[in-house]
Structure 1
């Protein structure tokens, strides 16, 4: 099945109340467990190459599938500048509660891996205990504001955060600059996951490019040191970049997620 044949149904969900209310766009299709749940990265949307490929993979295997746009992304409402890890995690949890039943594999790219790990840590709060059966993390960037950005920031960046509440940088992935807000950094500090052991209670597979200019592969290896000793598989792609969207990368992602799904199905 090709990406264009993997049809999932669009929907919207109102998350939050009052001034914090925002319409979150998502797409889902029913199928066998475990459902594949796509969590995209910073400023990405749910119609990207990897998300479409995952939709086709789920359809081929008869698995359920769900993806969403965080607020300020894609078709979802809300201002991008209001976005934080807490806010986007709560939106992902709300869509999962609304559209997904049974066990799931969180397939998360870049910043999405941070959100996936926060969903794991807050599983009881979001009624997800025992339902997150696997994690596939692609170029994972948990704690990126604290561990990847702050050490590289200039005094000018810090001054802009203090005085303007944000700073911008050119993006290699589109014409619009990336915007980083003081709220994102402050909230990021309150959501750090790479401080202690992260009890995932499920197998974890990581795929990381060694030529990634945005997330050094050493960051993925550091993440592994915070994961349980068992059930963690890490694949380093020597010439892989941050996108991991080449045909060979997509094939690797497909094999990894189907291996996870097969092992979960065999557990019953």
Structure 2
């Protein structure tokens, strides 16, 4: 078991009025590093994030987690957040805090962030190598594919009139805010429009009783991924959180399988 402490850090992303301080925690260890990317309105202290960091420590692996702007311990207003901004912040933390090949573990919207990071890395041909993806209840393109088709005329008008949509949350007493900017920026960050070349193995875990992300969405995502190196596990009674003890054990096994695959392939 690795006894290296988890180190808290922060960095400033953007400049001028767009500057925001992003909080993260990282732990040194062997590669590949497990990097947690949370979902919409989630933070790095959630059950799955904590479990993943303990798993890394127990196996002597490096790890990293962060809060996007407007989330958890980071600065910035949540209402200013967009996919582009959150990808930029995750990329900055990855560059600053991870010096080993990385396995990105993206939950819900975090899976969208992970796929955009892979696309950025492949386009740049540099930076932190991404050697595996573990996507939990993945929600890439959720603004276009999951939300827009369900918007009522009244909701569409609310977006036009107010610039945002306020919806009750099943996970918090506070309502969930979706801004017009989020929808517009989401359209510029779509990943399920053609083949997604990841260059690494991908594992997807999806609950079939997920009320937020239908399991068909995960299967649609698979159709855009390379035919080899993709593993999909459907949890028949799994919900969106995937935080029950048996769900966490499933995530743990999948993460360690990706670690072993990266080492066997000589990429970590």
Determine if the TM-score, normalized by the shorter chain, exceeds 0.5. Answer: yes
Q: Is the 1:6–1:55 contact (alpha carbons within 8 Å) kept by the matching residues of 2?
A: no
Q: How far is 1:7 from its partner? A: 4.5
Query: Which one of the candidate residues 112, 115, 137 is aligned to 1:114?
Result: 112
C-alpha root-mean-square deviation of aligned residues, in Å?
1.4
SS of structure 2 residue aligned to 1:122: helix
Q: How far is 1:6 from its partner? A: 8.6
Equivalent residue runs for 1:1-268 within 5 Å: 7-124=5-122, 128=126, 131-268=129-266
Q: 1:200 to 1:267 in 2, by over 3 A?
A: same
Which sections of structure 2, spanning at least 5 residues, go unmatched?
none
Q: How far is 1:161 from its partner? A: 1.1
**Across the two proteins, how many residue pairs are aligned to each other?**
265
Can you list the C-alpha shifts for 1:152-187, whole angstroms capped at 9, x where unaligned? 110111111111100100000011100000000000
- CA–CA separation in structure 1 for the residues paired with 2:139 and 2:158: 23
Q: Is the 1:50–1:245 contact (alpha carbons within 8 Å) kept by the matching residues of 2?
A: yes
Which sections of structure 1, spanning at least 5 residues, go unmatched?
none
- CA–CA separation in structure 2 for the residues paired with 1:214 and 1:81: 21
- CA–CA separation in structure 2 for the residues paired with 1:115 and 1:247: 26
User: Which runs of 4 or more aligned residues in structure 1 lie more than 2 Å from their structure 2 counterparts after TM superposition?
Assistant: 124-130
Q: Is the 2:104–2:134 contact (alpha carbons within 8 Å) kept by the matching residues of 1?
A: yes
Q: Is the 1:45–1:73 contact (alpha carbons within 8 Å) kept by the matching residues of 2?
A: yes
- CA–CA separation in structure 1 for the residues paired with 2:202 and 2:9: 29
Q: 1:41 to 1:142 in 2, by over 3 A?
A: same
Q: How far is 1:102 from its partner? A: 2.1
SS of structure 2 residue aligned to 1:123: helix
Can you list the C-alpha shifts for 1:97-145, whole angstroms capped at 9, x where unaligned? 0000121000000000000000011114666567000000000000000
- CA–CA separation in structure 2 for the residues paired with 1:191 and 1:242: 23
Q: Is the 1:93–1:126 contact (alpha carbons within 8 Å) kept by the matching residues of 2?
A: no
SS of structure 2 residue aligned to 1:259: helix
